[in-house]
Structures are given as C-alpha cells and as structure tokens.
Structure 1
Amino acid sequence: MPEEVLFKSEEQVSRGEIAESLRNAADQIDSGDVTVGNDADEQRVTVPDSPRFEVELERLTDSETGEQRYELEYEIRWKE
C-alpha cells in the first residue's frame, strides 16, 4: 500500500510546548475533528469513535557513534 504523507512537522521545542500541543491535540481528538498544519498547508480529518491507539517507547543506538537516544511515539490509526 503506497504511503502519502499529508503533513509532517518536526522541530526542537520545550517540554512545556510539547505538553501544550498534546493537550490541544487531545481536545481536537475528543471532538472528533483534527486539524494539523500551518497557514500554507492545513489538513483536516475526522477521527472515528474507536480508532486503534498505539504508544511506543524505543531506545535507539547510532551504529557509528554508539550514541543512544529515545523515541516516544503516540499513533492513532483507522481505515476510511
């Protein structure tokens, strides 16, 4: 199945800013309508009543430097 990225954002921000973004996202998810993006590129979807919810915490090691980092991901999935 081909993947089509409709919107992606990645930036370094404070823990407080991340928490605020997640609170705003939670309010939108609770309402059923989620809008992501910026003024130039905005996407809106309707989240169904019972989507699949996944939480994943990984510890990754850079193969060249041996440096470790963590990734914490929250993912919501559903079919059209």
Structure 2
Amino acid sequence: MPEEQPFKTENPQTRSEIAETLAVAAEEIESGTVQLSGPEQEREVTVPEEPTLEVELERLTDSETGEQRYELEYEISWSE
C-alpha cells in the first residue's frame, strides 16, 4: 500500500474565523468523517469512536530575534 503524503495547511485568520473552522471540524469529528482541504490537496479521513486527544500549549522563543510566540495545538490520534 502506498504511503499517504502528510496534510498540512497554515494561514492567518481572525479568532472568529478560527472558531468557525473548529466548530465545523467538531461536527465532522462527531459524525466520524473529516474532510480536509487546502490550496493543493484534499483528503477525507474516518475518525474512530474513541481516539486520543492531546492539547498542548507552548511558549517558544525565536533563537535569532528573541521574539516570543505561543503555539496552542489540538491533536487527535489513533492507530489503524
């Protein structure tokens, strides 16, 4: 079986736009099928009934500029 390419998108949005994206994602996760789409790729994935949810908040410092930023990540994982 060929290995699937990773899916990733990243773009600036307002808090309201992010909240709407997460609300749509929550509905799809609850239904069990998630549609992913980006500028150059699309993917559909089935989420099992009991995956693992990881929430992570990190404060990072850019080694060149010293600028600090935060990353808040919600990660859902499961095994096939």
1:71 aligned residue: 71
The verdict on how the C-alpha distance between 1:65 and 1:36 changes in structure 2, with shifts beyond 3 A counting, is: same
The verdict on how the C-alpha distance between 1:15 and 1:44 changes in structure 2, with shifts beyond 3 A counting, is: same
Could you tell me how far 1:38 is from its partner in structure 2?
4.2
C-alpha distance after superposition, 1:23-57 (max 9, x if no partner): 00000000001110147521011100110100000
2:33 aligned residue: 33
Instruction: Return the letter of the residue paired with 2:77.
Output: R
The verdict on how the C-alpha distance between 1:43 and 1:18 changes in structure 2, with shifts beyond 3 A counting, is: same
The verdict on how the C-alpha distance between 1:73 and 1:3 changes in structure 2, with shifts beyond 3 A counting, is: farther
After superposing on structure 2, the runs of 4+ consecutive aligned residues of structure 1 that deviate more than 6 Å are none
Could you tell me how far 1:8 is from its partner in structure 2?
1.1
1:55 aligned residue: 55
How many residue pairs align between the two structures?
78
TM superposition score normalised by structure 1? 0.88
TM superposition score normalised by structure 2? 0.88
Cα distance in 2, alignment partners of residues 38 and 64 from structure 1:
30
Cα distance in 2, alignment partners of residues 67 and 39 from structure 1:
29
1:9 aligned residue: 9
Cα distance in 2, alignment partners of residues 39 and 69 from structure 1:
26
Identical positions, percent: 60
The verdict on how the C-alpha distance between 1:67 and 1:39 changes in structure 2, with shifts beyond 3 A counting, is: closer
CA-atom RMSD in angstroms? 1.9
